[in-house]
Structure 1
Amino acid sequence: MSPPKPDSAAIQDLYRREGRRVFATLVRLLGSFDLAEEALQNAFVAAAERWPREGMPKNPVAWLISAGRFQAIDQLRRQRRMTPWSEAAGHIDAIPDGAPALDEREAVEDDRLRLIFTCCHPSFGDEASIALTLREVCGLSTEAIAHACLLAPTTLAQRIVRAKAKIRDAGIPYEVPDASELPERLGRVLRVLYLVFNEGYSASSGDDLLKPDLSAEAIRLARLLADLLPEPEVRGLLALLLLQESRRRARTDAAGDLVPLEEQDRSLWDRAAIVEGCALVGPALQSGRFGSYTLQAAIAAVHAGAPSTAETDWAEIAGLYGALLRLEPSPVVALNRAVAVAMAEGPEAGLALVEPLMEAGGLGRYHLAHAAKADLLRRLGRLEEAKTSYETALGLSRQAAERRFLERRLAEIDR
């Protein structure tokens, strides 16, 4: 029986599904991001020319990796003949001889894990790791990443070029760290995925509060990481992202304005994502090897299981925030705990916790802290003080939807 003969649409679909997996292995085999990217494109060009005539090979991923690798070697050999002293002379000698064992899916999947850890190496800042991860692991275009990060494409491109040069010049290894280094390095990877998701779920600035492409990519990477490295905290992060994302459709109205939690239509919440997220939280907590992401996921699970804000177990949420505060002491976590206490015990109890936090410093430039204080003052009927805090929050906010929400609150007080 002859193999199926795919059309261009089928090959394009394969590129979308498997392109970055092929790319990750080509990076390992060729030792260069740029060579691997060119080899990937050449491999798919060859597939588009040959497969409609000859049929799709039994293992298309292995075929594409081999085709890309051999075309890269041919190209380097031609460069060496034309320019004997070029870098190609040394580079080709570093490429492993012989065909790699490409039939084992596990080996190819490990390459994607290596690529994630390389892009999130501790020597990079968060911004460089995010840009490199979105470009090399996710395959997003430079223009798309620049738009999401509110940067000029040239600025973003330079950031990526510098990061690649650092990998090459510093000899950053393309590998998953060993057991002794894994906790620290894994934490870095999880932080980058968390930051990518947060920018998609609640943009730090700009006109759009939500950037679904970014949050979707973070969830896709978290799924991949959980499959390849099923540590409890990896699953905890995936649970957190799924539970947060489940509320996305209800977080803004038709005009793109922010809808606070207590006013959200919970029928719009994604029940499938909630079920999946909640199923991940329990085992992660029971393992005893969980961290801050699993605790945040547990808090999100309590919200997800409540029919309304009034029926939410705020005491349990306050307790979970207390556990999170012990694990990860920070003013922001303390602020979130204070808000949960206010919901459980009343706004006066919450304000008694918020005011010392504001006076202690660390939250003075955090617009959500001023907004939280304003809301507690509003609920207590201290409207003039609430107005001052809302105005401070408005002055610090850079997100259009959040600014419109704060302006509505101020208008309500004026009325």
Structure 2
Amino acid sequence: MLIAEWFMNIEELDFVTDRLARLLHLSPEVADFVILLIDLGILFVITGFAYLISKRLLLRVLHRIVSRSETQFDDILLEKRVFNGLANLVPAIIAYYSLPLLLRNYAFMTKVVEASIKIYVVVLIVSVVHRFLRALEVIFMGIEKYKDKPVKSYLQVAAIINYIGGGIVLISIITGSDFNSILLKLGALTAVLLLVFKDTILGLVASIQISANELLKVGDWVTVDKYGADGEVIEINLTTVKIRNWDKTITTVPTYAFISDSFKNWRGMQSAGVRRIKRSLYINMNTVKICNQEMIERFKRFQLITPYIEERLRLIEEYNKANNIDTSHPINGRQMTNLGVFRQYALAYIRSKPDISTAEPILVRHMQPTENGLPLEIYCFTTHTALLEYETLQADIFDHLIAAVRYFDLELFQNPTGTDFRSLARS
């Protein structure tokens, strides 16, 4: 700007043009064009010199300052080339303020070149803001407090505003219209814009609600049945949530789906440090019967339930004597059943496992009978929340119970197979 003012104070420019025309025997028009070329050459040298100073000298000094700084903020800005973009503004500003002098006799060309420089500056500023937003994303992701927050969604909104604002400014430069008048014209297109940016707007609203209510965080294990997603959240952005499924595939779910649809977040289970086991064995009801003396003596040898059987026999005998029960028939009075004894065995076996939480409910209960038999549900909580340990423990429990059922003269229900039909034919 100072260089331009220095040139503007020279009052002998026309005199130089006339003098050059006489010395070189040129027409005034040609002499003026030669002077224009000289002025453009001077402008090129000045802008080139400014570019070298800003890019070579200032950036090197800045690199040294940043390398000695203890904070990581300026390192990230440098890595994302924010300062490089700002350095490119210096030559453009010098060229812009020098044009009124250098192209003083070319009004149309002055407008075209000024508009071109303005466009270049706007594009450069938009690019610098975009790099700055990317740097902010890296900075926030490096702060423990914000790692599980949808910061990227808000930065994407800022990026969209940046591009829209830059686009409106470019339109006003190219068309020569006022910025405010363009905004008023765009207001008439609000309905169209809402339709175009529907997902973005819904995503923004969803991101705010997700963040405010802590519905979802990066690292959460979620299950979204509608989209077939079951795994860990690895990214939350403005329009989508990326979920790495347990089979290592990636599922993208619209952000607003976590507000409009139902999903299961397993964070509560992980923070509680326990995970529920809830699975049933289907008992063939035709095998349920009252225990006779031989069965009771056999069941007494099962160490896990020996104390239970002895105590139960005592209580039954006291009740039957107190109420004068005729025990000659097995259905009179109180009796033990093989299913009831097996329930107590399953309960004792589960409680004997060190990885089962005793602070949570432990149940072995009947469910509503079905055409597939009587469901005997195992309901308890394990201290293993990781998939591998959880499934291993659950399989160990049911392996044992499935094998133990036959020792209580019970059978598990399953649909007839070819083996069943062959056995029936042989009999």
Q: TM-score range by the shorter chain?
A: under 0.3
Flag the structure with larger Rg. Answer: 2
TM-score of the aligned structures, taking structure 1 as reference length: 0.23
TM-score of the aligned structures, taking structure 2 as reference length: 0.23
Relative to its length, the structure with more strand (as a share) is 2
